[in-house]
């Protein structure tokens, strides 16, 4: 039986280190996954078309994707799709990560797009947030 976690950890040893200064915010991706996202957009991404992220939450992965786009030199954007509607699950995850130490509390049902935008401000020239329900996304 394969040990996929060990294989992924071995693979990540060769990934590009992300730049310093990316905000430490809660997310649903690991450090290794963040390095992977950065490596893909900084070194592998050919710049043909924009990049899409579905389910952006507070912007952790968006920062790594956008940082890579910035480094790549491609004049492209990262489109982040989320309903930006806070839930009790979000509160629980944010509490575990200490998010409330430096941010105002968000109540379930509230719009948190302003938090996403503040957390991704460093790369705002590369990020276009789209407030929508995932089920309503259509491609042309």
| Residue 61 falls inside a structural domain | yes
> Which tokens in the block code for residue 52?
């899409």
Distance CA(51)–CA(10), nearest Å, equals 26
87: left (phi over 0), alpha (psi -120 to 50) or beta: beta
Percent of the chain at pLDDT > 90 equals 61
| Residue 5 falls inside a structural domain | no
| CATH at residue 56 | 3.40.50.150
Range of the domain at 70: 30-43+51-84+112-135
| Residue 125 falls inside a structural domain | yes
For the residues 115-130, what does the mean pLDDT come to? 97
Query: What is this structure's pTM?
Result: 0.87
| Residue 131 falls inside a structural domain | yes
Q: What is the count of structural domains for the chain?
A: 1
Q: What is the per-residue pLDDT across 30-88, written as a single tens digit (0 to 9) for each?
A: 888 999 999 999 999 999 999 999 999 999 999 999 999 999 999 999 999 999 999 99
| Residue 36 falls inside a structural domain | yes
């Amino acid at each position: 039986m394969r040990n996929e976690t060990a294989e992924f950890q071995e693979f990540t040893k060769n990934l590009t280190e992300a730049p310093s200064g990316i905000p430490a915010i809660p997310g649903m991706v690991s450090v290794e996954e963040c390095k992977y996202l950065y490596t893909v957009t900084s070194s592998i991404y050919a710049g043909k078309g924009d990049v899409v992220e579905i389910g952006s939450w507070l912007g952790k992965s968006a920062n790594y994707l956008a940082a890579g786009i910035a480094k790549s030199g491609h004049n492209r954007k990262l489109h982040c799709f989320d309903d930006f509607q806070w839930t009790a699950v979000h509160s629980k995850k944010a509490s575990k990560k200490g998010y409330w130490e430096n941010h105002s509390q968000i109540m379930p049902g509230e719009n948190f797009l302003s938090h996403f935008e503040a957390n991704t401000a460093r790369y705002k020239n590369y990020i276009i947030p789209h407030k929508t329900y995932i089920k309503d996304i259509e491609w042309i």
